[in-house]
Amino acid sequence: MSETVTADLASAAERSLPEMVGDLRRLVDLETFSHDKTALDTGLDRIEDWLVERLGRPERRTRHDGGTFGDVLEVEYPGTGPGTVLFLSHYDTVWPRGTLAEWPVEIDGDRFSGPGCFDMKGGIVQSVWATRLLRELSVPRPTVRMLLTGDEEIGSPASRGHIERASADADVTLVLEPSREGMVKTRRKGMGLFDVTVRGVESHAGLDPAAGASAVHALAELVPRITGLAAPERGTTVNVGVISGGTGRNVVAGHARCEVDVRVQEPDEMARIDAGLKDLAPSDARAEATVTGEWNRPPMNPNDASAQAFALLCEVAAELGTVLEEVGVGGASDANFVSALGRPVLDGLGAVGAGPHSRDEHVLLSGTPHQVAMVASFMERLTSR
C-alpha cells in the first residue's frame, strides 16, 4: 500500500512542477534581506497570502513579533492521522533590497536562478507542496506545523526560543534547507562568533615610540595563538576574518580588533576554545586584550531519534528509485538548535542545486518533484506507523 502511495505522490509532484516553479518565482520576487525589517514584514505578509491560497486558512495561526528582526509566523494544519511534523523554514536571505533589479529571476532549461531561490525559498515551496499533495490525494497525514523565521541568516536571535518551543512535541522536525547534491545533512558544525579587542598606549611613532604600547603589534602577536586553537582532527576550525586598528602610520596604535569565526563538531570543544580565548594576553603588560561574543549555535550530531527518522526516509527514497546518502557540513542552521535538545530532526531535504550566498545560486528544477514526493511520502509513512 505504501509503495503505491509513494508512486502516486511522485506522479502528482511531476504534474505539479509548473505550478511549483511559478510559486518559487513568486517567493524569490519578494526581497527579504535579513537586515531590512520593512522588506521582511512586507515579504512575510505576501508569503502568508500565498500559503493560504495553497493550503487554506490554518486552524491555528500566530505571528510572533521579532522586534528589530523579522517576525516569526507559526501556523498549524490538522492531520487525518496521528503525529505532528514541524516544518522549520527561514524566509530571510543574504541579498539586500535592489538585488533583483540587477539579478532578476532567470529560467534557463532546468536551471532556475535568483537571489534566495536555493537558500531557502525553494525549500519553503517544497514543504507547502508536500503538504498540499497529501491533501489532494486524500492520503493519511500528520498534523503539520510550519514555523517561518526571518533571522536565520544572522543567527536566529529572535526566533530561537520559538524554534525550541515549537519542536518540543513534534514527532520530527523537517528542515528543507538546500540539499548537498541530494544528500541529507545529518551533521552540522556549531558556530562561535567572537571579537578580540586590544587596548594599547598611543604615542608618536617617531618622537617617542618607547612610550607607546602598540595594540596592532599586540594583536598581531595574538592572532597565531587564536588560530592555533584549531584542531582539524576534531573538526574544529578557527578563522580570523577581519582585522582593524590604529589611526595612522606615524601613531603607535592605541586600539586594534579582530573578528573570529569558530566551528566545532564535538560539543566538548566549545569549553576548550572558551578557555583558550580567555587566556589571551599580550606579552607587553601595558596592552590589554578583551574577548566578547558567544556561541551562536551548538553542533548538530546524529541522535537516536534522528537516526530512526533518517532510516525511514531512506526506505521512502528507495521506493522512489534513489539511494539516499547523508553528509556532514561546516555550515550551521536552525536544525542545530533542535538536535542539541536531543529531538529528531532531518535537515537538507530542500532544493537540489548549488551556489548558496553567491551569484551562482540556482535550483535544478528536475530535482524538485523527487524532493517533494520524498518528504510527502515520509509524512504518510510516519502517520501509518
Q: What is the pLDDT of residue 384?
A: 87
Percent residues over pLDDT 90 in the chain: 99
Q: Is the pLDDT of residue 214 over 90?
A: yes
Q: Is 152 part of the annotated catalytic residue set?
A: yes
Contact 193, 260 (CB under 8 A): yes
Which residue in the list 31, 36, 92, 269 is annotated as catalytic?
92
Q: Is the pLDDT of residue 345 over 90?
A: yes
Q: Is the pLDDT of residue 360 over 90?
A: yes
- The CATH number given to 190-297 is 3.30.70.360
Q: How confident is the model at residue 385 (pLDDT cuts 50, 70, 90)?
A: confident
Do 190-297 and 2-188+300-384 fall under one CATH topology? Answer: no
Q: Average pLDDT for residues 110-138, to the nearest whole number?
A: 98
The residue count for the chain: 385
Q: Is the pLDDT of residue 1 over 60?
A: no
Task: Decide which of 3.40.630.10, 3.10.129.10, 3.40.50.450, 3.40.50.620 is the CATH code for 2-188+300-384.
Answer: 3.40.630.10
Q: How confident is the model at residue 2 (pLDDT cuts 50, 70, 90)?
A: confident
Q: Average pLDDT for residues 249-257, to the nearest whole number?
A: 98
Q: Is the pLDDT of residue 114 over 70?
A: yes
Residue 246 to residue 200: CA distance in whole angstroms: 10
Q: Is the pLDDT of residue 317 over 60?
A: yes
Residue 172 to residue 328: CA distance in whole angstroms: 19
Q: Is 284 part of the annotated catalytic residue set?
A: no
In this structure, what C-alpha cell is assigned to residue 324? 539516499
Domain boundaries, the chain: 2-188+300-384, 190-297
Residue 14 to residue 249: CA distance in whole angstroms: 64
Which residue in the list 152, 221, 326, 380 is annotated as catalytic?
152
pLDDT tens readout for residues 179-205: 999 999 999 999 999 999 999 999 999
User: What does the mean pLDDT of the chain come to?
Assistant: 97
Quickly list H helices, the chain. Answer: 2-28, 37-55, 99-102, 122-136, 160-166, 215-227, 268-278, 304-319, 335-340, 368-384
Helix (H, G, I), strand (E, B) or coil at 220: helix
Burial (CB < 10 A; 0-12, 13-18, 19+), residue 189, is: buried
Query: pTM of the full predicted structure?
Result: 0.93
Q: How confident is the model at residue 3 (pLDDT cuts 50, 70, 90)?
A: confident
**Which range (1-10, 61-70, 191-200) has the least confidence?**
1-10
Q: Average pLDDT for residues 210-239, to the nearest whole number?
A: 98
